[in-house]
Chain A
């Protein structure tokens, strides 16, 4: 068996996972209590993302000039991709097209998730730092924003959990790493809570349309599993806080 086989006949992927296996997922909240209102640290396999949320705050406090909107918050999402994050050291320009696209997609997704009416005329600043990249960037960013917003005490309709799904001939593969991402077509889906509603879907490759449904189905199941893991962390933190506070 070639080491670089994407999906072996035995049903194993390059890193030894099965088709329906997520990478190891772990997360923490409130990692930076002094620097932000809410923060989170999410690790999906070797992809590590740190998210800091500031706000809701007055528009004149925001780092960039923003105009307040009367019917909801202004959501500023910044993605920073330091040179050391990828496999090879490479400096990326600040307004790289892919990164700004990423932040626009996330912005749209979370403006649908935040309870807008509570935050008129405010700014919510979200700063994402990719500490290490190994595929599933959008998914990891989405999960970390969800956790950081919850940590900041911002009203959300529900969790948004996201995962990427790729297709290898007839098989759908869950949660791709960067090697698989470069070889396969994939789509990232973000699911609202434990429903089947999609708040986020992004595909940058060509996909056979008849396979799309299967991919999304697998993605939804993966998202539900991730939501469960994030939920456990949030509850655990809550119980710990309560026990101390009296």
Chain B
């Protein structure tokens, strides 16, 4: 049988390559080398990765006999003798210790179901949250009955992944003052693979705005907490403990009605109720505008596949100031130039 004839459109790519003839030859060579390596590491489903049986097969691979094949389109990752393929795109895969932002979707038997953008909903056990009445308080049946007064469907929270079950679903906990319900801000969802891994995911940004980059790609932009009350914020726990000690007296006098439990530490009682409050602080129009600008800058970066962290977001915000009004930033061409400006700026600094 003779070959199959197929006619495709002339590719635009080649035309672009011809344009770049005037590029410095050295640079071009280097670029080509780097590019060639990248292309080598890109695999597609069904592509043979290796026929050497000594490799261990990780995520994104499968094997037939001694041969290991890729199961997803992505980049090969080799760690010692472990071979895995990281997909270009895909749902968030929870790992213990991840700082995530999620939304409550269901309140069931002693647990909340939380949407974290993964394959399965994560669970937040009643026992894994701080309730009014101190850390050591036992959870009673009354607590079970009024779970909705703490967190109800639609509430946003940030939490840490406590453990991962064998099917890949996660158990969360909020047993730290860093975690808990989110208020005073706006929710932004970007692909999880655009979050740059870091030590800390909660940051203060210029302009009185703070951000939490959930590792799952859900982000929260909110007004920076100005007062010293404990709660979600980027402060170190040491600092907060110190402030809590100072505030002890004030808190004792201003006791808010609790849940009828005999709390040993009234400060914690108050703090916990603050955490579960649904009321936003008053936010000035300028802060709201700043938050919106940050949101649009973040979306601009994500729409053009630029990975983000706090420095990049702050820089993108700075660049966006040059493009006029906040409402201008939803235009695709402006988003594109923000993303390009950011990358160019980083290249200039090296």
Q: Closest chain B residue to A155 by CB distance?
A: B71
> Do the beta carbons of B73 and A236 come within 8 Å of each other?
no
In the complex, chain A residues whose CB is within 8 Å of the CB of B242: none
> Do the beta carbons of B75 and A156 come within 8 Å of each other?
no
Q: Closest chain A residue to B194 by CB distance?
A: A245
Report the separation of the CA atoms of residues A245 and B120 in the bound assembly, to the nearest whole angstrom: 27
In the complex, chain B residues whose CB is within 8 Å of the CB of A241: 88, 305
Q: Which of B88-137 contact A (CB under 8 A)?
A: 88-91, 106, 119-121
In the complex, chain A residues whose CB is within 8 Å of the CB of B254: none
Residue tally, chain A, CB below 8 Å to B: 56
How far, in Å, is B146 (CB) from chain A's closest CB? 24
Q: Which one, A122, A158, A222, A225, contacts B119 given CB within 8 A?
A: A122
> Do the beta carbons of B45 and A157 come within 8 Å of each other?
yes
Q: Which of A19-27, A99-107, A128-136 contacts B (4 or more CB under 8 A)?
A: A19-27
In the complex, chain A residues whose CB is within 8 Å of the CB of B74: 153, 238
> Do the beta carbons of A193 and B119 come within 8 Å of each other?
no
Report the separation of the CA atoms of residues A237 and B183 in the bound assembly, to the nearest whole angstrom: 38
Give the interface of B toward A (CB within 8 A): 1-9, 13, 35, 38-39, 42, 44-46, 60, 62, 69, 71-75, 87-91, 106, 119-121, 167, 191, 194, 303-307, 343
Report the separation of the CA atoms of residues A242 and B42 in the bound assembly, to the nearest whole angstrom: 9
Report the separation of the CA atoms of residues A174 and B194 in the bound assembly, to the nearest whole angstrom: 43
Q: Which one, B6, B44, B304, contacts A22 given CB within 8 A?
A: B6
Q: Is A121 in contact with chain B by the CB < 8 A criterion?
A: yes
Q: Is A234 in contact with chain B by the CB < 8 A criterion?
A: yes
> Do the beta carbons of A238 and B42 come within 8 Å of each other?
yes
How far, in Å, is A211 (CB) from chain B's closest CB? 14
Give the interface of A toward B (CB within 8 A): 17-18, 20-22, 24-26, 30, 33, 37-38, 55-58, 60, 115, 119-122, 150-159, 174, 192-193, 217-218, 221-222, 224-226, 229, 231, 234-239, 241-246
> Do the beta carbons of A217 and B90 come within 8 Å of each other?
no
Q: List 14 A-B contacts (CB under 8 A).
A: A21-B4, A21-B5, A60-B106, A121-B167, A153-B73, A153-B89, A157-B45, A174-B4, A229-B6, A238-B42, A239-B38, A239-B42, A244-B305, A246-B307
> Do the beta carbons of B62 and A157 come within 8 Å of each other?
yes
In the complex, chain A residues whose CB is within 8 Å of the CB of B304: 244
- Knowing A25-B6, A150-B44, A151-B89 touch, does A58 contact B13 (C-beta < 8 A)? no
In the complex, chain B residues whose CB is within 8 Å of the CB of A174: 4
> Do the beta carbons of B88 and A238 come within 8 Å of each other?
yes
How far, in Å, is B240 (CB) from chain A's closest CB? 35
